[in-house]
Amino acid sequence: MIVRITPNAVADPWFTGRMRHLEELRSRIARLAAGSPSPSWLEGMTVFSSERVTEPLGFVTEPVLALVVQGAKRSALGDHIFDYHTGQYLVVTVDLPLTSQITHATPTEPFLAFGLPLRPELIAQLLIEAGPTAVPPHDGPGIAISDADDKLLDAVVRLLRLLDEPRDVAVLGPDVRREIHWRLLNGPQAAMVRQIGLADSRLALVARAIGWIKTYYDQVIRIDDLADDVGVSVSSLNRHFRAVTAMSPLQYQKQLRLQKARIRLIAAPHDVAAIGYAVGYDSPSQFSREYRRMFGAPPGRDAARLQTVATVQD
């Protein structure tokens, strides 16, 4: 990625602060990703490095902050495409079936990223301590991209610095995690993030519905039963679910089934029919048809291609 630096930008403390923090994050993440995982890391924290672009792969993403420090990535939620690059972060506030791929990475400029799960109980605590705040309601899906400001980057830098002294992580790490959540609650996605901590929010309602679908994804789901479990009408459930996830509950279930099937097929590409049954399809032809519609190739052929790509990349 080319960053054009103008004289005015050089004189801007906000710009120079961001560049300084991103440079340190690049160095630290590259070093951490090259080594073995440390047991002293803050629970759930991840760093990632890749020298190559990747194939689009689907998975269910839990609430998370994903910061790109170098390179670029693309995530798709149904027909919604989210491209983000150096200095930008993706926030996901509810379990979503995303298809993601690294779109810019080279051996000399590898893709580097940092991830941290978002905790509803921590956000709820911060909302209570901060008191009433006027925040416009969030009506879009539970996913968004924003530029990381200097304060957020500074907190992430300080979190990674703690790894230099493993004894500091257990004592100081929770405070820095708390600060990162606070920065998000005061950032451009504040309205969306705050819903994670509100028990009666639309996001919390959809999260309960998603939990139910994930439990029974391989079974026939009746929307009436799901609405009863969540405690709303069918029309309300459909409206809120589509607003947060950009799809209906049954479309969500289908994506979940197909993504789980794809992961299984990579390990066992010749068990197409058995895997289709395992994720809830009674008809092999329907499974193959819907799989091809989503991934662009029949199950067996797609799995064989992915195995080849993985072998080449390894």
The pLDDT tens digits of the residues spanning 227-276 come to 999 999 999 999 999 999 999 999 999 999 999 999 888 888 788 999 99
The pLDDT tens digits of the residues spanning 49-68 come to 999 999 888 889 999 999 99
CATH of the domain at 176: 2.60.120.10
Tokens for 14, please give them: 């906000």
* Residue 301: domain span: 199-314
pLDDT of residue 12: 60
Q: Which of 113, 107, 110 is nearest to 160 (CA)?
A: 113
**Is 125 found in the same domain as 206?**
no
| Backbone phi and psi for residue 130, each to the nearest 5 degrees, phi listed first | -75, -25
Q: Given 143, 164, 197, which residue is the final one in a domain?
A: 197
Nearby residues of 286 by Cβ (< 8 Å), 6 or more positions away = none
**Is 265 found in the same domain as 216?**
yes
C-alpha to C-alpha distance for 282 and 285, rounded to whole angstroms: 9
DSSP, res 81: E
**Is 149 found in the same domain as 21?**
yes
CATH of the domain at 246: 1.10.10.60
**Cα atoms found within 13 Å of the Cα of residue 267, Cβ hemisphere only:** 6
Between 284-295 and 249-267, two packed helices, what is the crossing angle to 10 degrees?
90
* Residue 176 domain-assigned (yes or no): yes
- The model's pTM: 0.86
Count of domains forming the chain: 2
Question: Is the CB of residue 118 less than 8 Å from the CB of residue 64?
Answer: yes
pLDDT of residue 8: 53
Q: Given 167, 197, 227, which residue is the final one in a domain?
A: 197
Q: Given 197, 230, 255, which residue is the final one in a domain?
A: 197
pLDDT of residue 2: 42
* Residue 48 domain-assigned (yes or no): yes
Nearby residues of 45 by Cβ (< 8 Å), 6 or more positions away = 114, 115, 116, 159
**Is 132 found in the same domain as 45?**
yes
Q: What percent of the chain has pLDDT over 90?
A: 68
* Residue 110 domain-assigned (yes or no): yes
Question: Is the CB of residue 67 less than 8 Å from the CB of residue 156?
Answer: yes
**Is 239 found in the same domain as 178?**
no
* Residue 1 domain-assigned (yes or no): no
The vertex-159 CA angle with 153 and 164, nearest 5°, equals 130
Beta-strand ranges (E) seen in 11-63 are 46-50, 57-61
**Is 50 found in the same domain as 64?**
yes
